[in-house]
Structure 1
Amino acid sequence: MAPVTNVSEDSMSPYYIHHSDSLGLVLVSQPLTGDNFTSCHCDMIIAISVKNKLGFVDGSIPRPDDFMLLNSWKRNNGIVTSWILNSVSKDISTSIIFTESALDIRQDLKERFQQSNGPRIFQLRRNHRQGLMTGVKKLESHHQMDYVLAFLMGLNESFSQVFAMIIQEERHRQLGSQYLPTESAHGMALTVKGEVTKPSSGSM
């Protein structure tokens, strides 16, 4: 196979333009509005990297002096620029549409929106920490409830045993003529008999 002399024809070269690299490509699901710069910028960089065009926005592929290579650079720069314009709001797009290179557009957006997103990033991180603390407290409360339920279940078993003993005692009383009274029933009978036979103070 003959070696490729034109970088724009080498499929491994960032100058190579695939048939799927259309001007209408949108890099992100939600357009950049300013408030979402951090997440949107990250998504753009990933998408451009997958397309092997990151060098046109990070400065690693500068504008060449060679005439033949310059034409290829201009085509790729125009394609990447159109992707960025498709991925920002209309107001932002209007303000950057006349910028010469994709690199300049990226730097412009970073200067305008990256610093303004600092307080928002801080707020998101603080909300994240608060969410973690709330989750930990709920987990602790859940474990405490487990202990309480286990304790109540143990009490329930004890009450069940006492209730069963009372039922058994009641049955012995009802069948007293056929069965001997239990020790507990006999003690209660002696107590009642002693109170009945005890003379009152008025009869002396």
Structure 2
Amino acid sequence: MAPNTDQDAPTQTQNHAILPVTFDGIGYRSWQKGVLRALSVKNKLGFINRKVTKPNEDDDAFALWEICDDMVTSWILNSLSKDLSDSLQYVNNARELWNELEYRYDQTNGAKLYQLQREINDLTQGNLDITGYYTRIKKLWEEISTLDTNSQCTCLCTRGGKTKMHKAEQDRRLIQFLMGLNVVYTVIRDSILMMNPLPTMAQAFFVLSQEERQREVKPHNQMMLESTSLIANDESSRNVNVASTNTFNSVASCSNFRTHYGGTGQSQYRNFGASSSSEIQVHKREELRISCKCA
């Protein structure tokens, strides 16, 4: 198959990187998917999957193939970290470079699965926002899914067993995701767990994102509410103080008005300065009236 040069525009130079993020030895599967997608868009995927065969050196198409192959090789090298790129500079072609990367970083083994599962179990939200936490744990899930090929069912099930297994796995991931949330999301997390059936990860992420946005606005409203409460408490304190003062004055008037003296078996009530019996009777009636009012 002859190399395709329809998209060999001037922008496709050897200094071009096909991915915005370089690969540094971690997360090979996700980086690999990105490279394959980018090469497919540029119609250059055949240089690493052997669909574009290398012509003989005496063939007229060899020079064109060599230019395109060198371009693809440069794209891949520029998408690696400097240390990795320097160690792979002497490969002969794009296919050899791709095979070397697969041999180094695409080996499935128990140690790699253990490392990924350990990262997932230890991952918590911490200082991350909901989007950052969700993105990080979802990336780990995808990477472990591509490594653990034994967990991928390829059988043809006619009774819904495959769908049920997929739902059970999604529920397990949802619970794992909710377990790592910060304490401030306890109420909304409990509400999600009370749903039957459990929502999807996308639905739970949407609910938590809405809660996060409300919490970003809440401090201002909470401040206004606290200020209103302080004003109300201050007014209540003033009203209580005024009422206490009035009550105290009334009680003081009654106390000052009435003085009890112990006599010869008959109690005598006397107002300050009162001497005659008629004045005492008037004071008694006034005392009764004030006592009822005070009560």
With normalisation by structure 2, the TM-score equals 0.42
Look up the match of 1:108. 100
With normalisation by structure 1, the TM-score equals 0.55
Look up the match of 1:197. 259
Query: Which amino acid in structure 1 is aligned with residue 74 of structure 2?
Result: S
SS of 1:75's equivalent in the other structure is helix
SS of 1:17's equivalent in the other structure is coil
Q: 1:161 aligns with which of 221, 236, 242?
A: 236
Query: Which amino acid in structure 1 is aligned with residue 13 of structure 2?
Result: S
Look up the match of 1:63. 53
2:19 and 2:182 mapped to 1: Cα distance? 34
Root mean square deviation, CA, Å: 4.7
Look up the match of 1:24. 15
Q: 1:48 aligns with which of 39, 45, 56?
A: 39
Look up the match of 2:119. 123
1:125 and 1:36 mapped to 2: Cα distance? 17
Tell me the alpha carbon deviations over residues 98-118 of structure 1, each in whole angstroms, 9 at most, x when there is no partner. Answer: 434323322321331245875
SS of 1:22's equivalent in the other structure is coil
Query: Which amino acid in structure 1 is aligned with residue 119 of structure 2?
Result: Q
- C-alpha displacement of 1:83: 1.9
1:32 and 1:155 mapped to 2: Cα distance? 57
Checking the alignment, whether the CA contact within 8 Å between 1:56 and 1:77 is kept in structure 2 is: yes
Tell me the alpha carbon deviations over residues 42-91 of structure 1, each in whole angstroms, 9 at most, x when there is no partner. Answer: 5544543443323323x162415684555543332221012222333454
1:136 and 1:153 mapped to 2: Cα distance? 30
Query: Which amino acid in structure 1 is aligned with residue 241 of structure 2?
Result: I
1:125 and 1:44 mapped to 2: Cα distance? 29
Query: Which amino acid in structure 1 is aligned with residue 183 of structure 2?
Result: K
Query: Which amino acid in structure 2 is aligned with residue 18 of structure 1?
Result: A
Shift of the 88–136 alpha-carbon distance from structure 1 to 2, 3 Å rule, reads closer
Q: Which structure would you say has the larger RCO, counting Cα contacts within 8 Å and 6 or more residues apart?
A: 1
Q: Which runs of 5+ in 2 are unaligned?
A: 131-177, 188-214, 263-295
